[in-house]
Amino acid sequence: MTFAVHGLPVARGIAIGRAVLVVSSRIDVAHYFIKPEEIETEIDRVRTARNAVADELAKLQANVAQMGPNDAPHELAALLEVHQMLLQDEALSGGVKHWISERLYNAEWALTTQLEIIARQFDEMEDPYLRERKADLEQVVERLLHRMKGTAAVLAPSPPRRKRAASADDDNDDPTAGDGIDVPLVLIAHDLSPADMLQFKKSVFAGFVTDVGGRTSHTAIVARSMDIPAVVGARTASQLVRQDDWVIIDGDAGVVIVDPSPIILAEYGFKQRQGDLERGRLARLRHKPAITLDGQRVELLANIEMPEDTVGAVKAGAVGVGLFRSEFLFMGRDTGTRQTRLPDEEEQYQAYKRAVEGMQGMPVTIRTIDVGADKPLDSISANKQEHLNPALGLRAIRWSLADPAMFLTQLRAILRAAAHGEIHLLIPMLAHASEIRQTLSLIDFARAELDNRGAVYGHVKLGAMIEIPAAALTLRIFLKHFDFLSIGTNDLIQYTLAIDRADESVAHLYDPAHPAVLRLVADTIAECRRQGKGVAVCGEMAGDVAFTRLLLGLGLRSFSMHPSRILAVKQEVLRADTGKLEAWAKGVLESDDPAAAMAG
């Protein structure tokens, strides 16, 4: 039966494919694709864990048998027997083998996927006793996952074997019957960690959906960096969609259509082809300079997460990197002690050097680590923050200043990489003069350490993020110390309007066109221009074509966005006359309803 789930559109376009569910677990579970030659190794990991758990249960059963009736009730022996039966059940082991061998899931992912499928079967049973056995199954799987923890193979993303997408001519019961050709996959999850997003970024998904998140949650931002259709804040999508269901993701409308009819498939297939044609038309602008009709040159820069992203930035026509989110180098390293999880100076230096070389002489702006809020460094941090408000806690520069050794390591690596090309150093979430002084002092100290070692390093321009209203209201202090400012509109909107940008329940209140937000942005741009300092917008507003004309009218000449948005924004720039836009932008700022004024 066809039904629709509504959420928030965060990455445009249409995706059609089979659902792949990422199921939540009480312990942290890695999700990645293995290589075909690793199938037997992963199956053997499950087999080894199953044998070990079977031995554990057998020993417990033997101990129970030796106890008297007062020490161990007979129900305990029966429960252990049920666990043994579930452990050996072919529905569990056979399903796990299927997901490993057919979809190339790693063993843990295959286990949680099959658990979800069997658990739903238990939920549909009429007998209450049998329904309750779902909890026993969950306990058995948790035992297996604990056994496998620490024995995972090295992450090795690899495309799973797939079959082709459905079309209007297919039998909707089995659109792939008998053809064996490739089909796209779409990812469905309650939520995704930034580390998971990075892993999936290297794989084969045509789109994704999450139950939680807002338009500028980090999950949504990385979705746009994958340049695939995505919907977040879809509430119960992961509960309603089943493994291998056919799904359409409408990233323009924020709608997820499950089990679509042939007519609906045909309609969305047409929309998908139209989107491809539009992207083709935009691609012709790649090598055209971004100059307005009245001759104003506009700088279109790229936001990246990893050094490898520079390939896409150059291909999209970016004239530099306006934001390298360095925290992604620190994520997904949940093994060993905290010290071994953090990349050392040499590893960071090599990553920044690759980014500089990848941009082929164009400037690269590296933001120092910005963890916290919707970007916890690891699962431990995430659990610790569960009942706090991490957006107002120890994050970004606060986190760095609280750990000077870690911060100095990063600063030394960035300074060394600057010997290979133009690097701008960007500091996030500054709000206090004392933080500015501490930061500048540590940068000087990092230089002194490199001097003492006789290490080669380069000069960097220093910049600060304006993402807290307090910073936007005290620009005079910032412009005394920094060469340029970069407006992080995602957090600026969040803090100005007191809205958690990752919380779908208040997402409707997240408003980039709010008069207070626009006033802070406009004043920051104007003050930088008055003092001859560089200013850019690197938040999601920069890549939103609905705001391109307004930002140009406010005097902005440097936009930094995901590479997938550059050509669309360039098209708006090429059509704009900034002389005419200035008066219009002033009217928008003075309006009680800027969104309506922009649309009018």
Active-site residue set: 218, 538
Tell me if 325 is assigned to a ligand binding site. Answer: yes
Q: Which position has the token pair 């994704």? A: 208
Tell me if 354 is assigned to a ligand binding site. Answer: no
| 3 state SS of 557 | coil
Q: Fill in the amino acid letter for 508.
A: H
Chain-centre distance of CA 437, in angstroms? 32
Tell me if 501 is assigned to a ligand binding site. Answer: yes
Question: Starting from the edge strand earliest in sequence, which strands make up the sheet with 185-189, in order?
Answer: 3-6, 255-258, 246-250, 14-22, 185-189, 205-210, 230-232, 8-11
Where helices occur in 190-316 by DSSP H, the ranges are 194-201, 218-226, 237-240, 262-283, 310-315
Tell me if 467 is assigned to a ligand binding site. Answer: yes
Residue-wise burial string across 540-558, b where 16 or more C-beta atoms lie within 10 A, e elsewhere: bbbbbeebbbbbbbbbbbb
End-to-end CA distance of the chain: give it in Å, rounded.
41
Q: What is the residue-wise DSSP string for 346-398?
A: HHHHHHHHHHHHHTTTS-EEEEPP--BTTB-SSHHHHHHTTTS-GGGSS-THH
Q: What is the residue-wise DSSP string for 142-198?
A: HHHHHHHTT-PPPP---PPP--PPP-TTS-TT-TTTTT-----EEEEES---HHHHH
Which residues make Cβ contacts (< 8 Å) with residue 139, sequence separation at least 6?
83
d(CA 133, CA 137): 6
DSSP character for 26?
S
d(CA 192, CA 22): 8
Structure tokens at 562: 């995901």
E strand or H helix that includes residue 210: strand 205-210
Task: Give the burial class of 149: count Cβ atoms within 10 A of its Cβ; 0-12 exposed, 13-18 middle, 19 or more buried.
Answer: middle
| 3 state SS of 220 | helix
CB 597 within 8 A of CB 550: no
Task: Give the burial class of 432: count Cβ atoms within 10 A of its Cβ; 0-12 exposed, 13-18 middle, 19 or more buried.
Answer: middle
Residue-wise burial string across 433-462, b where 16 or more C-beta atoms lie within 10 A, e elsewhere: eebbebbeebbeebbeebeeeeeebeebbe
Residue-wise burial string across 3-20, b where 16 or more C-beta atoms lie within 10 A, e elsewhere: eebebbbbbbbbbbbbbb
d(CA 473, CA 516): 12
Tell me if 38 is assigned to a ligand binding site. Answer: no
Cα–Cα nearest to 529, from 303, 310, 296: 296
Cα–Cα nearest to 543, from 582, 498, 489, 478: 489
d(CA 6, CA 258): 11
Q: Fill in the amino acid letter for 165.
A: A
Binding residues for Mg(2+): 467, 491
Binding residues: 325, 367, 467, 490-491, 501
Binding residues for phosphoenolpyruvate: 325, 367, 490-491, 501
